[in-house]
């Protein structure tokens, strides 16, 4: 299954893009009183040392179809669980990135230093017995000139089909957790392209060119999934 860049593909996005304006608070240190005379009114005040932490990147998620609350919780949990390992492999990734749902943002607002993630298709799938067609893209980003745009496209339907043989006997929550894990792997792959501004792929790891079931559902994660349905 391919991840990365589309060749010749035109996509019409039916998302209402909400933009959030948020700035770091302005912090100023107040000197303790020493009883010394106050400086003249025209004397410049001493500059206060900045104590504000460096801002973290924000990933803003939009879903083409409405996702239940449990699906969002599972996706964000999978992202937070995978981020430290991914950041160790790709230092350009922000291990402490904020995760925000686009539908929770106020209109006409902007999130500075952000990457937008569009979730296309069925991201909370029922059991699917048939695997996805070979060559179907799982995710992609666009390169405009020398720049890789900070927008990630995730194709949920083929992701769900790709892992369906491993998930069709799981409980509904188990399928959500498996799907969230698989989506996270695709998101991290595409984010690595953006963070490094490099379209190259590796033979192994999160930046490999093609993802199969073992890449989307690593063995260590599979053992943590919910128990199978008993009917």
Domain-embedded: residue 37: no
- What pLDDT is recorded for position 110? 84
Q: Which of 169, 132, 173, 144 is nearest to 5 (CA)?
A: 144
Domain-embedded: residue 49: no
| pLDDT tens digits for range 103-123 | 988 887 788 899 999 999 999
Domain-embedded: residue 159: yes
Give the domain range for residue 211.
Answer: 2-7+54-222
Domain-embedded: residue 24: no
Position with higher pLDDT, 12 vs 42: 42
Domain-embedded: residue 28: no
Domain-embedded: residue 13: no
State how many domains the chain has.
Answer: 1
- Indicate if the pLDDT at residue 5 is higher than 90: no
Domain-embedded: residue 43: no
Which CATH number fits the domain that encloses residue 84?
3.40.390
Domain-embedded: residue 23: no
Sign of CA dihedral 68, 225, 118, 73: positive
| pLDDT tens digits for range 60-109 | 999 999 999 999 999 999 999 999 999 999 999 999 999 999 998 888 77
Output Rg (C-alpha) for the chain, integer angstroms. 22
Tokens read off for 38: 């106050």
Which neighbouring-strand residues pair with 116?
60, 151
Q: Following DSSP, what letter does each residue of 96-151 receive, concatenated?
A: T-EEEEGGGSPTT---SSEEEEEEES-SSPPP--SPPPTT-EEEE--EETTEEPSE
- What pLDDT is recorded for position 19? 27
Q: How far is CA 126 from CA 86, 107, 162, 204, in A?
A: 28, 32, 13, 30
Query: In what order do the strands lie in the sheet containing 58-63?
Result: 2-4, 137-140, 151-155, 114-120, 58-63, 98-101
């Amino acid at each position: 299954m391919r991840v990365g860049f589309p060749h010749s593909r035109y996509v019409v996005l039916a998302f209402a893009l909400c933009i959030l304006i948020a700035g770091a608070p302005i912090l100023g240190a107040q000197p303790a009183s020493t009883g010394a005379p106050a400086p003249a009114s025209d004397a410049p005040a001493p500059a206060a040392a900045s104590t504000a932490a460096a801002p973290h990147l924000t990933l803003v998620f939009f879903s083409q179809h409405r996702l239940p609350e449990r699906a969002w919780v599972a996706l964000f949990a999978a992202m937070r669980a995978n981020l430290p390992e991914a950041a160790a492999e790709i230092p350009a990734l922000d291990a402490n990135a904020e995760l925000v749902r686009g539908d929770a943002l106020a209109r006409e607002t902007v999130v500075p230093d952000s990457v937008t993630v569009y979730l296309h298709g069925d991201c909370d799938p029922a059991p699917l017995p048939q695997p996805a067609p070979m060559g179907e893209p799982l995710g992609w980003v666009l390169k405009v000139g020398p720049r890789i745009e900070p927008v990630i496209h995730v194709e949920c339907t083929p992701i769900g089909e790709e892992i369906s043989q491993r998930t069709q006997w799981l409980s509904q929550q188990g399928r959500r957790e498996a799907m969230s894990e698989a989506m996270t792997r695709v998101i991290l792959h595409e984010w690595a392209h953006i963070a490094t501004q490099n379209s190259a792929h590796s033979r192994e790891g999160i930046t490999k060119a093609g993802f199969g079931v073992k890449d989307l559902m690593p063995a260590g994660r599979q053992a943590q999934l919910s128990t199978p349905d008993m009917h």
